[in-house]
Amino acid sequence: MDFLFNLRWDIIWNYRELFLQGIWITIVLTVSGYIGGIILGVFLGLGKTSKKKWIYWPCKIYVDLFRGTPLLVQILIIHLALIPTIFGHSLGVMFSGIAALVLNSAAYNAEIFRAGIESIDKGQTEAARSLGLTQGQAMRKVILPQAFRRMVPPLGNEFIALLKDSSLVMVIAVNDILYAAKVVAGAYQKFWEPYLTAALLYLILTFVVTKIVAYVERRFSIDYNPRKNKGGRVAR
Amino acid sequence: MIKVENLHKTFGKLEVLKGINCEVTEKEVVCVIGPSGSGKSTFLRCINLLEEITDGAVYIGGAQVNDPKTNINDIRTEVGMVFQQFNLFPHMSVIDNVTMAPMLIRKMDKKSAEELALELLDKVGLREKADNFPQQLSGGQQQRVAIARALAMKPKVMLFDEPTSALDPEMVQEVLDVMKALAKEGMTMVVVTHEMGFAREVADRVIFMDGGYIVEEGLPSEIFANPKNDRTKAFLGKIL
C-alpha cells in the first residue's frame, strides 16, 4: 500500500486548467448530444410506430444499425470517413464528437419513445378519435402527455449513460476529462493520479445528474396525483 | 340517420360480419344483443369507422362513412361513443375530459366550454366531481363522465359498446338511468348490451346477432316474448 502515500497530487494541480476545460467540454458534449438525441429520437420513435412501411423501415434500420454497433466504431467512422466524404474536409473534432453522440443516443431514445407511446392503452386513441380528434391531435393531447410521464425514468438513465459514453470521443482527441488525464499520464508516466482524478470527476458529474434526474422524476412521473394539481381551480 | 348496407368485416381470414343490413331512424333507440363473438361490437365500431370496413357501406346522415373522400373526423364529431372500459383520459381532470374536444374541435372558448361541461356533468349527476381525476371515481361514475364527454360534442347519434359490462353490479343502474334519460330526450342511440331489462324497457327495436349475421329483429316485446328464430330462442333461454 506504499504507493498510496507516494501519490503526487501536485501534478494534477499543475494541470488543473486542462481538467477544468475537460469538465466543461464533457458537459457540452453530453448536453448537446442529449438534446440533439432527444429531438432526433422523437422523430425516429414516432417513425417506428408508423404503419407506413416507407416511414417505418428507414427508422428501424437506423435504430438497429446504431444500437448494434459500438459507439467507438461509430465515432471513428463519422469523424474519419463520413464527415470528410460529405463535406470534403473535417469540421473539427468537437463537431464530429457531438454528431456521433447525437446520432447514437437518438437510436436509444427512439426505442424509449416508441415503447412509451405503445405502452398507452389503445382505448385512449380510440376515445380521442371517436370524439373527432385527428391522429395528430390525439397524439399531442392524449397519448404523448401520458407517454412522457412514463419516459422520464428511462430518459434519465440515458442521460447518465451518455455522460459516461462521452468519454469515448477522446479517441478522436476531443479535449474532454479523459483527454486531460491522458495528457498528464503521458507527460509524467504516472497513471494512478490522472485516471483516478478522471474517474472522480465523472463520479461527481453523474452524482449531480442523478440528483437532477430524481428531481425531474418526482416532478413529472407521478401518476396524476391530484394534490399536485391544486391551485388550478377554485370553488365555483 | 344510420344506414348499413351489406357490411362485411374480416380480421385476416376470420370473417366477423357477413353482410349486415340495417337502418336506424332519428330518435330511435336500437339495442343489439347476442352471444359474445357474434360481431355486435365490431358492427358498432364499424359505424364510426373505428374498424376499417372490408366491404359494403355505412351512411350517417347521408354521408358515406367509408368513402375515402369523406372526412371521417367531421362525421365522428356527430357520433358520440361510449366504451366498455370508459377510456377517460387519466391525465386530465373530469371537467377537462369533457371540455377538451369542444375547445379543440368546435373552437369553443374555455368559459363556455366549462359552462357546457358543468351542465352535462349536472345531467349525469357528477357536477361536484368536476375537479377530480378519473381514477378517484368509481367505475359507474367514470362511465357517466364518459357519457358527458361524448355529449359535449352535441352528437346526433350515440353509440354504446357494452357500457355496463365492466361495472360492479351495484353501479350498473346509475349508468342505465343516465342512458334512459338520454333516450327519453330523443337521442338516437345504438346500444350493444347484455342488459335485457334495459333493452326491453327502453329500446324501440331489438336486433339479435349471431355468427356475423342479424338473425332477427323487431319490437322488444315481440323478440323477448316470442322469438321466431331458434338461435334467438336458445340465446334468450340461456340468459333470461
What per-residue confidence (pLDDT) applies to A217? 84
Q: What is the pLDDT of residues A146-160, one digit of tens each?
A: 998 889 889 999 999
* Contacts with B, A 52-111, CB within 8 Å: none
What per-residue confidence (pLDDT) applies to B239? 81
What per-residue confidence (pLDDT) applies to A222? 55
- Smallest Cβ–Cβ distance between A224 and the set B91, B118, B130 belongs to B91
Through-space distance between the first and last CA atoms of chain A, rounded to whole angstroms? 73
What per-residue confidence (pLDDT) applies to A229? 44
Q: What is the pLDDT of residues A107-123, one digit of tens each?
A: 999 999 999 999 999 99
Q: Which of B42, B37, B43, B36 is nearest to B21 (CA)?
A: B43
The ipTM is: 0.92
Q: Which residues of B touch A221 (CB under 8 A)?
A: none
What CATH code is carried by the domain that includes residue B151? 3.40.50.300
Given a cut of 70, whether residue A231 has pLDDT beyond it is no
User: Which residues lie closer than 8 Å to A221 by C-beta, 6 or more apart?
Assistant: A149, A150, A152, A153
Residue ranges of E strands in chain B: 2-11, 14-24, 29-33, 55-60, 63-64, 79-82, 157-161, 188-192, 205-210, 213-218
Q: What is the pLDDT of residues B25-38, one digit of tens each?
A: 999 999 999 998 89
- Smallest Cβ–Cβ distance between A146 and the set B91, B100, B149 belongs to B91
Beta-carbon pairs below 8 A across chains A and B: 78
- Smallest Cβ–Cβ distance between A226 and the set B100, B101, B136 belongs to B136
- Smallest Cβ–Cβ distance between B135 and the set A121, A224, A233 belongs to A224
Are B50 and A229 a contacting pair at CB < 8 A?
Answer: no
Nearest CA to CA, how far is A233 from chain B (Å)?
Answer: 7
From residue B203, alpha-carbon distances to A85, A91, A213 in Å are: 73, 74, 56
Are A132 and B90 a contacting pair at CB < 8 A?
Answer: no
Q: What is the pLDDT of residues A186-209, one digit of tens each?
A: 999 989 999 999 999 999 999 999
Distance of CA A174 to the CA centre of its chain: 18
Sort residue B107 into left (φ over 0), alpha (ψ -120 to 50) or beta: left
Counted domains in chain B: 1
Alpha helix stretches (DSSP H) within chain A: 2-5, 10-14, 16-48, 53-68, 71-76, 83-87, 93-118, 122-130, 135-138, 144-165, 177-188, 192-220
What per-residue confidence (pLDDT) applies to A9? 86
Are B87 and A126 a contacting pair at CB < 8 A?
Answer: yes
pLDDT band at B62 (very low <50, low <70, confident <90, very high): confident
**Which domains are present in chain A?**
2-219 (1.10.3720.10)
Given a cut of 50, whether residue A227 has pLDDT beyond it is no
Q: Which residues of B touch A129 (CB under 8 A)?
A: 50, 73, 76
User: Which residues lie closer than 8 Å to B2 by C-beta, 6 or more apart?
Assistant: B22, B23, B24, B47, B58, B59, B60, B157, B188, B190
Q: What is the pLDDT of residues B173-223, one digit of tens each?
A: 999 999 999 999 999 999 999 999 999 999 999 999 999 999 999 999 999
Nearest chain A residue to B151, by CA: A131
Mean of the per-residue pLDDT values of chain A: 90
Specify the pairing of strand B29-33 against strand B213-218: unpaired
- The helix/strand/coil state of A42 is helix
Residue the block writes with cell 333461454? B237
Given a cut of 60, whether residue A224 has pLDDT beyond it is no
From residue B184, alpha-carbon distances to A97, B82, B189, B235 in Å are: 69, 18, 11, 28
pLDDT band at A232 (very low <50, low <70, confident <90, very high): very low
Are A126 and B73 a contacting pair at CB < 8 A?
Answer: no
Beta bridge partners of residue B207, listed in sequence order: B32, B217
Given a cut of 60, whether residue A234 has pLDDT beyond it is no
Alpha helix stretches (DSSP H) within B135-190: 139-151, 169-184
Mean of the per-residue pLDDT values of chain B: 94
Q: Which residues of B touch A123 (CB under 8 A)?
A: 83, 85, 87
Q: Which residues of A touch B93 (CB under 8 A)?
A: 226, 229, 232-233
Q: Which of A161, A123, A115 is nearest to A142 (CA)?
A: A123
Nearest chain A residue to B150, by CA: A131
Residue span of the structural domain in which B216 resides: 2-237
Cα pseudo-dihedral B133, B135, B141, B144, rounded to 10: 70
Nearest CA to CA, how far is A143 from chain B (Å)?
Answer: 9
What per-residue confidence (pLDDT) applies to A10? 87
What per-residue confidence (pLDDT) applies to A6? 77
Given a cut of 80, whether residue A26 has pLDDT beyond it is yes
Are B83 and A126 a contacting pair at CB < 8 A?
Answer: yes
What per-residue confidence (pLDDT) applies to B29? 96
Q: Which residues of B touch A149 (CB under 8 A)?
A: 91
